[in-house]
Amino acid sequence: MTAGKSLKDVAFRVKMTRNKPKYDLPFLKIRPLKTRSLTISTLLPPSVTHQPVLLKEVVTHLNIQPEGRYLDCTFGRGGHSRAILEQLAERGQLLALDQDPEAIEAGQKIAQQDSRFQIVHAAFSQLEQVLAQFPSPQPIMGILLDLGVSSPQLDNPDRGFSFRHQGPLDMRMNTSQGPTLQHWLNTVSLAELITVLKDYGEEPHARRIAKAIIMTRQQTPLTTTVQLADIVAQAHPAWPAHHHPATQTFQALRIFINRELEQLQQILPQIPKLLAPQGRLLCISFHSLEDRIVKRFIRQAAQGDHYPAHIPIPAAALRPTLRKITRPIYPNDEEIAANPRARSAVLRVAERI
**Which segment of 25-39, 87-101, 110-124, 318-332 scores lowest on mean pLDDT?**
25-39
Tell me, yes or no, whether 105 and 250 share the same domain.
no
Structural domain boundaries, residue 194: 26-40+162-260
- CATH number of the structural domain spanning residue 237: 1.10.150.170
- Select from 197, 226, 260 the last residue of a domain: 260
The answer to whether residues 102 and 233 belong to one domain is: no
Q: Are residues 105 and 172 in the same domain?
A: no
Q: Is 9 a domain residue?
A: no
Based on the fold, state whether residues 188 and 145 are members of the same structural domain.
no
Helix (H) or strand (E) holding 94: strand 93-98
- pLDDT tens-digit profile of 218-236? 999 999 999 999 999 999 9
The tens digit of pLDDT for each residue in 75-98 reads 999 999 999 999 999 999 999 999
In a domain, 15, yes or no: no
pLDDT of residue 26: 43
Has residue 310 been placed in a domain?
no
pTM reported for the whole predicted model: 0.84
- Across the chain, mean pLDDT equals 87
167, 237: one domain: yes
Q: Give the residue-averaged pLDDT of 146-168.
A: 95
Q: Which residues contact 73 (CB under 8 A, 6 or more apart)?
A: 96, 97, 124, 127, 143, 144, 145, 267
pLDDT exceeds cutoff 70 at 273: yes
- What is the structure's pLDDT at 1? 46
**pLDDT at site 309:** 67
Same domain, 278 and 220: no
Question: 20 in a domain, yes or no?
Answer: no
Q: How far apart are CA 265 and CA 19, in angstroms?
A: 43
Q: What is the pLDDT of residue 4?
A: 44
Please, which pLDDT band fits residue 31 given cuts at 50, 70 and 90?
very low
SS3 labels along 291-307: HHHHHHHHHHHHHCCCC
In this prediction, residue 147 carries a pLDDT of 97
pLDDT at 13 over 60: no
Number of structural domains (the chain) is 2
The verdict on 138 and 178 lying in the same domain is no
